[in-house]
Amino acid sequence: MEVSDSSTHTNGRQRKLAGARLPHEGIMNIDRVETNAPELDSEEDTQGLIRGSDSEDRRRRARPGIRGELGNVLLLLFLYVLQGIPLGLAGSIPLILQSKNVSYTDQAFFSFVFWPFSLKLLWAPLVDAVYFSRFGRRKSWLVPTQYLLGLFMLYLSVTVNSLLQSEEGPNVVALTAVFFMLAFLAATQDIAVDGWALTMLSKENVGYASTCNSVGQTAGYFLGNVLFLALESADFCNKYLRIEPKGTGIITLPDFLFFWGMLFLVTTTLVAVFKSENEHGKGKRRVQEETQGVMETYKLLFSIIKMPAVFTFCGLLLTAKIGFSAADAVTGLKLVEAGVPKEQLALLAVPMVPLQILLPLVISKYTAGPRPLGIFYKAFPFRLLIGLEYALLVWWTPSVKQEGGFPVYYYALVLLSYAAHQVALYSMYVASMAFNAKVSDPIIGGTYMTLLNTVTNLGGNWPSTVALWMVDPLTYKECQGAVSQSCGSPEEAGLCVKEGGVCVTTLDGYYVESVVCVVIGLAWWVWLGKKMRRLQETSPAEWRCRVG
């Protein structure tokens, strides 16, 4: 095992840190990889002087294209697809749990599964610096993490039914523990693949890495979430894919997990055996990476956070999404509770894909100037209003339900609401990323940018968990049909039913949360939103980290 330190490598620029990505709101790639072109070592410099004029002429005649590295690009794409599978599966479990009437407190507990991609900055320096040099810097982490992912999926394929269908109800604690490990391993794999992309592709083609990341993770999430929920649903398969109806879908969750678990094990073995790092055949030179030591990176992160401008900005990022938490975290579960089929909700994400591709391109034209947070500030109240519209949609849903399901115009309205939400969401997202890139110190751009993006992710995760946790305490039910009984707890609700009564919801905590979140959001927009806009006026020197 080798620990890389800045003193052990004298050639190449420092690669500061690998970025990250979060799973929700359409599995967006939030953290990007900061790439630095490695420099030539002394031996290659000498050879370069001898062949300089000849290589320069050839470079002018024909620049290397992607065709010669198509295999590497496809491998990267496949690795990112694999990464998206456990994330998509994790995103489908809350909908399955909701159809089994679990409490929102349990949903909040399971939401911790989505935290690793927002916290992986904590262990990214280790992945970046500790490795077996003979086996490969990135393969040292990629291979074991993917093997563990495959083994966890095989384990789940045997146990998931018992975890979901026990007599006492779904075992949420065990499900959370296993899927948290899946997300943790996927986040670790992401760090390794992001770093490998820097040396797997040539300098001319390294830009394709972000495309592989975005397309691969989105495709993997789609397979593990939308496609799985559709094929697992008996109603969907009977309606669209079968001639003779059956009581189950085409696939089951254990079958799906077993298939991908085996695929992880087989493909990881092939990568471990046949793919080597830093191949320097076919005219390629060996690329040397350099990284800071682990402790140096942590000290650098701490020094960045201590800067007054960064500290203030991080505080604003961590609180900005409180106003959207009820709409983002609870609405989909409430629609499932109201009877909307979970597979139909998942399929509504399909027409959003072109919109999610085009929106960043359009919005980036307005965030490219010196004040990108102006777009963030303007989109903020519209996203709050969409949260109220979501609450009205949930309230209206039971009255629209028909014997055969929901009418087409209902799904059209849900799709329109979702599209409006995506416009507001992406406006804020692109503006935030543009400002992060604008203020990040170029000397330490990788670590700086990753830190800000990680805080942005975390600022969306913790309010969602709290929002789910508070639904049940804010919900008021009364026992009708049984004297002197109440429904304040599951035990009291059981006594109510035992006495011949029924628990009726008189005040749904979701609606209380929706109003409270919008009020908090408006207060943030009025007072703190203006403070965030004023950060754009601060001197660039306020954002520079003074490192030795």
User: What does the pLDDT look like over 518-541, one tens digit per residue?
Assistant: 999 999 999 999 999 999 989 888
Q: Give the C-alpha distances (Å, rounded to integers) separating 99 from 77, 89, 93, 341, 520.
A: 34, 16, 10, 9, 31
Q: What is the pLDDT of residue 407?
A: 93
Average pLDDT score over residue span 107-113: 96
**Residue 282: pLDDT over 60:** no
Q: What is the pLDDT of residue 15?
A: 33
3-state SS class at 402 = strand
Q: What is the pLDDT of residue 1?
A: 53
pLDDT-derived band at 424, boundaries 50, 70, 90: very high
Mean pLDDT of the chain: 83
Q: What is the pLDDT of residue 300?
A: 85
* Range among 2-16, 205-219, 328-342, 344-358 with highest mean pLDDT value: 328-342
Degrees to nearest 5, angle at CA 334 with 331 and 338? 140
Average pLDDT score over residue span 426-448: 83
Report the range of poorest mean pLDDT among 210-214, 307-311, 394-398, 524-528.
Answer: 210-214
Q: What is the pLDDT of residue 28?
A: 34
Torsion angle (degrees, nearest 10) of CA 131, 197, 81, 422:
120
pLDDT-derived band at 34, boundaries 50, 70, 90: very low
- Structure-token pair, residue 14: 């420092």
d(CA 81, CA 87): 10
Average pLDDT score over residue span 362-366: 87
Our separate counts of H helices and E strands in the chain read 22, 4
pLDDT-derived band at 65, boundaries 50, 70, 90: low
By the 8 A CB rule, do 216 and 80 touch? yes
pLDDT tens per residue, range 320-347? 999 999 999 999 999 999 999 999 999 9
**DSSP-H helix ranges across 246-372:** 253-274, 294-305, 308-319, 325-337, 342-347, 352-367
Q: What is the pLDDT of residue 371?
A: 87
Average pLDDT score over residue span 28-51: 38
**Residue 218: pLDDT over 90:** no
DSSP 226: I
- Structure-token pair, residue 504: 């009726």
Q: What is the pLDDT of residue 464?
A: 96
pLDDT tens per residue, range 458-472? 999 999 999 999 999
Question: Residue 154's closest CA among 261, 82, 269, 268?
Answer: 261
Average pLDDT score over residue span 408-437: 93
pLDDT-derived band at 548, boundaries 50, 70, 90: low
Average pLDDT score over residue span 131-156: 93
Q: What is the pLDDT of residue 10?
A: 32
**Residue 29: pLDDT over 60:** no
DSSP sequence for 160-177 = HHHHHS-TTS--HHHHHH
d(CA 537, CA 371): 8
By the 8 A CB rule, do 485 and 495 touch? yes
Average pLDDT score over residue span 166-171: 84
By the 8 A CB rule, do 329 and 111 touch? yes
Q: What is the pLDDT of residue 446?
A: 67
% of the chain surpassing 90 pLDDT = 51
Q: What is the pLDDT of residue 16?
A: 34
Question: Residue 389's closest CA among 426, 414, 356?
Answer: 414
426 or 31: whose pLDDT is higher? 426
- With tokens 């339900």, the residue in question is 401
d(CA 239, CA 476): 38
Average pLDDT score over residue span 277-301: 64
**Residue 137: pLDDT over 80:** yes
Structural domains in the chain, CATH included, are 68-274 (1.20.1250.20), 293-470+511-547 (1.20.1250)
Report the range of poorest mean pLDDT among 64-78, 269-283, 444-458.
Answer: 269-283
pLDDT-derived band at 210, boundaries 50, 70, 90: confident
**Residue 318: pLDDT over 50:** yes
Average pLDDT score over residue span 207-222: 86
- The helix (run of H) or strand (run of E) holding residue 131 is strand 130-131
Average pLDDT score over residue span 73-97: 94
DSSP 67: G
- With tokens 């296993």, the residue in question is 178
29 or 488: whose pLDDT is higher? 488
Q: What is the pLDDT of residue 173?
A: 94
Question: Residue 84's closest CA among 189, 221, 208, 255?
Answer: 221
538 Cβ partners below 8 Å, 6+ apart?
Answer: 309
Question: Residue 503's closest CA among 514, 495, 511?
Answer: 495
Q: What is the pLDDT of residue 327?
A: 96
Q: What is the pLDDT of residue 279?
A: 56
d(CA 423, CA 356): 9
